[in-house]
Structure 1
Amino acid sequence: MKQYLLTSLFFIVSLTCWSQVTIDDCQNKAKANYPLIKEYDLISKSLDYTISNANKAWLPQMSVTGIGGYLIKGLPTVTMPNGQTSEKNDGIFIGIAQINQNIWDGGATKTQKNIAKANAEVDKASTDVAFHTIKERVNQLYFGILVVDEQLNQLQILNENLNRNLKSVQLSKDNGLGYQSDVDEIKAEILSLEQKKIEFSFTRKGYVEMLSYMIGEPLKEDVQLQKPIAVENYASLTNNRPELSLFANQTKLAETASSIDKVSLMPKIGLLGAGIFVTPGMSLGSSEVNSLAVAGLSMSWNTSGLYKWNNNKELEKIKKERINNQQDAFLFTNNLQLEQAANEIEKQKTILLKDDEIVALKEKIKKAYQLKKDNGMCSMNDLITAINKESEARSNKALHNVQLLMSLYNYKTIKGN
């Protein structure tokens, strides 16, 4: 029986822990649910096709051209002695077939593949930046629910306190030692408390519905959220914002793209095969030439890149400077946000140092008024005021605890962690 009870208790505790939702789960599910998640797969597929196309530059390239027409001046003919003159025919068809096989393209194919990869990294980094906004939105909803939960917990404690006093006052009134007005005051305060609970409950319901929509899963109204672990050494966190990765990849893309200028200065070498067919052919006495085949090496060199070299280098430098300026502007704003978040953390810590003392004093004051009321030395309204002030102090302490946790997590998010 003892073993059964322990097993049941372990199961209940495990089920409770398992049913709690964590902020990391919500962020991962929100990312998976956001339509932009498909962008990663599309970027990967696009890169595969682009590289595949670049690799096809090494396949033999074949071209076939056919020309049919009328000769204004015929092809020359050569008649050997005692040879028969060929019949004149001004209609002609020329067929040309050519096949080329690259041996060395000056690094053009390799550069095109590197540019495709760099472009893909830039696209992925841009998508990561978009997802960071989703992460911030999930944080706001998640901590919004935690704040409401703390307020509801404190209202429940206050409600229990008021109900205990209601029973006591009702008993005194029934015994002829109390007043109906005291009972009515507590009942009115309890009704006011119920209104606040209704307001907070609907606020929580709205937050839960929005969070459920973002993660793509239904959440119960009473879903329990697990408090994230506080990051005490927040100042030592490394800045992992996706924007920094985007700027780095943009710079890499600019450098990779500039290498195409070097490629344009290189000659291209390959194998060449060509065949020409002419009908009617060119008569050489007793024989007729109507086809020709050529094979060998080919080399082409376009020198137009020489004229643009200096300008392209300056354009590359300007592009990289613009990226650096954008990164400096982002870091300026990001550091400002981190300073504000750090100040908020220190403010919450300082406020919390006073909360324990305030709660202790308010509890002491409430107990004093309770004693006075029991001895008929103060009104019920005075006692209710003292009870409310103690509840407010406890509520503020709970709220400040969550706000400190939220500030710590906000700092962590601003720094991309």
Structure 2
Amino acid sequence: MGKRILTFIIIILAVSAHAQTLEECQQAAEKNYPVVKRYDLIGRTTELTVSNLQKEWLPRITASAQATYQNAVAAWPESIKSVYQRMGLDMKGLKKDQYKVGIDVQQTLYDGGVISSQKRIARQEGKLQEVQNDVNQYQLRQRVNEMYFSLLLLNEQIRLNDDVKALLLSSEKKLAAMVKGGTAATSDYENVMAERLGAEQQNSSLKAQQQMLQRLLSVFCGMEVNHLQKPKPVEVSTTTNNRPELSMFDCQIKLVEAKEKALNARLMPKLGLFAQGYYGYPGYNIFEDMMDRKWTLNGIVGIKMSWDLSAFYTHKNDRERLNMERKMAENAREVFLFNSRLDEIQHTEDVDRYQKMVQADEEIITLRTNVRKAAESKLAHGIIDVNSLLREINNENAAKAQQAIHEIDMLKEMYNLKYTNNE
């Protein structure tokens, strides 16, 4: 039982100590960001729209009921009415109050391609919304990159600050011994102590910033981010661009093409069947109803062709408007590629610049470290004062800080270049 508990504790510690990579944070942020829920909503909305359009082929059924009173109705001329009366027939004529309860059925046989074109538009609009969602999701990477590399830089600054504190504490202990031995002044000891306390104060400020940024990144990713793994340098190809924005522009152009087909479908005639029936008074047989005032069943079926010629009035302007939409999408793609190329050049140049700086930083740190060690030796022998030692310690720390900044900035520019080309 004890072994099981120990194994469980080891597993928990291993999991908690796992360092999150940049890719893991980006994937977690994409899954955690609320916009991911739109994919399901877009898909369901598109299917409902297409399903509703498909139902346009079903018969259109309209039920109606009406009651009317007319000031005049069809009636027999008095001369004919008197003839019928002499024959013993009472020709009443139509009643002024009339009633009707009926059903009207319309069935489309040919719509010129309107329904199918509307379904294509609905599907293309759904696809465009999904790609726009991809663009929003992809832009999260840039935000994660900013927080991730900023947090890495803070971690490096805290580590360097800890090194400086250790150096100052070591010098402080040596000076304390020298003060007791009468070989150093108390002011020198207090000067180093004040410098160490200042470093501790700076450390507290850096850790507060680290905690704040760590919480932001954790909330953004939807997971606890405790340890970050420094990304490895990457080589990015600058010959291809796979950004989702390019797919969005393609979808916009395809949507314009679908609208053009729908525009042509509006010019075509429509063909359909119809059926009308009602129960009421009067019916289609007016003469019968003039003699016998009773409700009857009446019906009519037929085929109908309609052609809305007014669609030709605006067809040319509508086509030109869609052509403008296509050109706007193409222009937006050109602008995006142009700006992406500029970003690519800038990131590439920055990577080269930081690589050269990092190479020079190694030599500078080596020299600064040698000078600092020599200053410590000189202080121990009373050749220099404490201020000279502190200056060399700060110079060494500044050189190490510059190296850390250059390394993080170089990695950041590499991954920004990767982001620019979606690799």
TM-score tier, shorter chain, comes to: 0.7 to 0.9
The residue aligned with 1:259 is: 261
For the pair 1:159 / 2:165, whether they are aligned, the reply is yes
CA–CA separation in structure 2 for the residues paired with 1:7 and 1:145? 32
Q: Which moved more, 1:78-87 or 1:51-60?
A: 78-87
CA–CA separation in structure 2 for the residues paired with 1:11 and 1:162? 38
The residue aligned with 1:244 is: 246
The residue aligned with 1:25 is: 24
CA–CA separation in structure 1 for the residues paired with 2:58 and 2:88? 48
For the pair 1:125 / 2:131, whether they are aligned, the reply is yes
The residue aligned with 1:111 is: 117
CA–CA separation in structure 2 for the residues paired with 1:8 and 1:162? 41
Structure 1 residue 126 displacement after superposition: 2.9
For the pair 1:68 / 2:71, whether they are aligned, the reply is no
Alignment-mate amino acid for residue 15 of structure 2: L
For the pair 1:208 / 2:207, whether they are aligned, the reply is no
- Give the one of 71, 90, 99 matched to 2:95: 90
Structure 1 residue 396 displacement after superposition: 1.5
CA–CA separation in structure 2 for the residues paired with 1:171 and 1:307? 101
For the pair 1:268 / 2:270, whether they are aligned, the reply is yes
For the pair 1:146 / 2:145, whether they are aligned, the reply is no
Secondary structure of 1:181's counterpart equals helix
Cα 1:196–1:322, aligned 2, differ >3 Å: closer, same or farther?
Answer: same
Structure 1 residue 169 displacement after superposition: 2.9
Secondary structure of 2:384's counterpart equals coil
* TM-score, normalised via structure 2 length: 0.84
CA–CA separation in structure 1 for the residues paired with 2:143 and 2:328? 30
Alignment-mate amino acid for residue 271 of structure 1: L
Deviations 1:112-133 (A, max 9, x none): 1111111122223333333444
CA–CA separation in structure 1 for the residues paired with 2:21 and 2:397? 29
Structure 1 residue 347 displacement after superposition: 1.3
CA–CA separation in structure 2 for the residues paired with 1:8 and 1:294? 83
For the pair 1:15 / 2:15, whether they are aligned, the reply is yes
Structure 1 residue 17 displacement after superposition: 4.7
CA–CA separation in structure 2 for the residues paired with 1:75 and 1:119? 60
Paired residues of 1:72 and 1:90 also in contact (CA < 8 A): no
The residue aligned with 1:377 is: 383
Deviations 1:157-191 (A, max 9, x none): 12222222223333333344444333223212211
Q: Paired residues, what number? A: 409
Cα 1:256–1:213, aligned 2, differ >3 Å: closer, same or farther?
Answer: same
The residue aligned with 1:45 is: 44
Cα 1:89–1:335, aligned 2, differ >3 Å: closer, same or farther?
Answer: same
Paired residues of 1:366 and 1:387 also in contact (CA < 8 A): yes
Cα 1:380–1:274, aligned 2, differ >3 Å: closer, same or farther?
Answer: same
Secondary structure of 1:21's counterpart equals coil
The residue aligned with 1:302 is: 308
CA–CA separation in structure 1 for the residues paired with 2:232 and 2:71? 90
Cα 1:15–1:123, aligned 2, differ >3 Å: closer, same or farther?
Answer: closer
The residue aligned with 1:230 is: 233
Alignment-mate amino acid for residue 283 of structure 1: F
Alignment-mate amino acid for residue 234 of structure 2: V
Q: Which moved more, 1:345-354 or 1:69-78?
A: 69-78
Deviations 1:54-90 (A, max 9, x none): 1111211112344433262316799999683443332
CA–CA separation in structure 1 for the residues paired with 2:101 and 2:7? 89
Q: CA RMSD in A?
A: 3.2
CA–CA separation in structure 2 for the residues paired with 1:389 and 1:9? 44
- Give the one of 314, 320, 326 matched to 1:314: 320
The residue aligned with 1:55 is: 54
Cα 1:26–1:132, aligned 2, differ >3 Å: closer, same or farther?
Answer: same
CA–CA separation in structure 2 for the residues paired with 1:59 and 1:374? 99
- Give the one of 384, 390, 402 matched to 1:396: 402
* TM-score, normalised via structure 1 length: 0.86
Cα 1:328–1:83, aligned 2, differ >3 Å: closer, same or farther?
Answer: farther
Q: Which moved more, 1:77-86 or 1:52-61?
A: 77-86
CA–CA separation in structure 1 for the residues paired with 2:39 and 2:28? 16
Paired residues of 1:278 and 1:291 also in contact (CA < 8 A): yes
Paired residues of 1:71 and 1:90 also in contact (CA < 8 A): no
Alignment-mate amino acid for residue 22 of structure 1: T
What stretches of structure 2 of length at least 5 have no aligned partner?
none
Secondary structure of 1:408's counterpart equals helix
The residue aligned with 1:413 is: 419
Deviations 1:390-416 (A, max 9, x none): 222122212211111111112222334
Q: Which moved more, 1:175-184 or 1:330-339?
A: 175-184
